[in-house]
Chains A and B, each alone.
Chain A
């Protein structure tokens, strides 16, 4: 596989559920990102990881918890989400923070 792979592609969950989104990059990059795209809004940066350390948390609520066990994998753990959290969640990677970032195809999340 090449590029950035995200699983699952679609996720429907209740507000009390706990689930995780997974991202894997096969580009040898050392930085990974989570973005949120809500309808009719720009992509919003949520988290930045560099060399497995979080370097940016863009005022994201604590019900979103990222994890970066190594430079190829990134997770977004979800718990007690709200309906307004329904959105497309995109993962991206880059080398040394240099543009461009390479994106996965996203996880479409729906909160019931």
Chain B
């Protein structure tokens, strides 16, 4: 059973418009959420994160929103640029309580974003 779900395998957005990527999770123990971006033939690159004590985190064109009651997070990219075309992975981790074993990342299956020039 997937604990982190990205229900849209693909999304196409016009350049300059807003891209909204969604992610749902089922495990209420998740405490920290991340978005990674992956280009073909490269490893995932960290993009932005949010702690469960916040409901919004912004970094330039990227904003992540967290709705804990709905167990839902979203990534907004505005304005979208051609270089944003990639696969975006949502990931979640439980609290880092003590020693290792608590920092496991659980990933979604990814959403392929295509920005149309």
A-to-B contact residues, CB < 8 Å: 4, 6, 9, 31, 40-43, 45, 48, 50, 55-56, 90, 92, 94, 97-106
Task: From B32, B89, B100, B109, give the contact of A50 (CB < 8 A).
Answer: B100
B109 touches A56 (CB 8 A): no
Q: A-B contact count, CB below 8 Å?
A: 67
User: Are B108 and A42 in touch, CB under 8 angstroms?
Assistant: yes
Q: Mark B27-48, 1 if CB is under 8 A from A, else 0.
A: 0000010101000011111100
A104 to B41, CA, bound (A): 10
B93, A99: Cβ atoms closer than 8 Å: yes
A45 touches B100 (CB 8 A): no
**Would you give the shortest CB distance from B31 to chain A, in whole angstroms?**
10
Interface size on B, residues (CB 8 A): 28
Is A55 in contact with B101, judged by CB distance below 8 angstroms? yes
CB distance from B23 to the nearest CB of A (A): 11
Q: Are A105 and B93 in touch, CB under 8 angstroms?
A: no
Chain B residues at the A interface, C-beta cutoff of 8 Å: 2, 4, 32, 34, 36, 41-46, 49, 89, 91, 93, 96, 99-110
Q: Check A42/B2 contact, CB under 8 A, given A55-B99, A55-B100, A56-B104.
A: yes
| Residue of B whose beta carbon sits closest to that of A97 | B103
- In the assembled complex, the CB of A107 is this many whole angstroms from the nearest CB of chain B, namely 10
Interface secondary structure of B, over-half rule: loop
B104 touches A90 (CB 8 A): no
Q: State the majority secondary structure of interface residues on A.
A: strand
The chain B residue sitting closest to A10, CB to CB, is B41
B44-A103 in contact (CB<8A): yes
Question: Chain A nearest CB: distance from B24 CB in Å?
Answer: 13
Docked CA distance A90–B91 (Å): 15
Which residues of A have CB within 8 Å of B32?
A: 99
Tell which of A40, A45, A104 touches B43, judged by Cβ atoms closer than 8 Å. Answer: A104
B43 contacts A101, C-beta separation under 8 Å: no
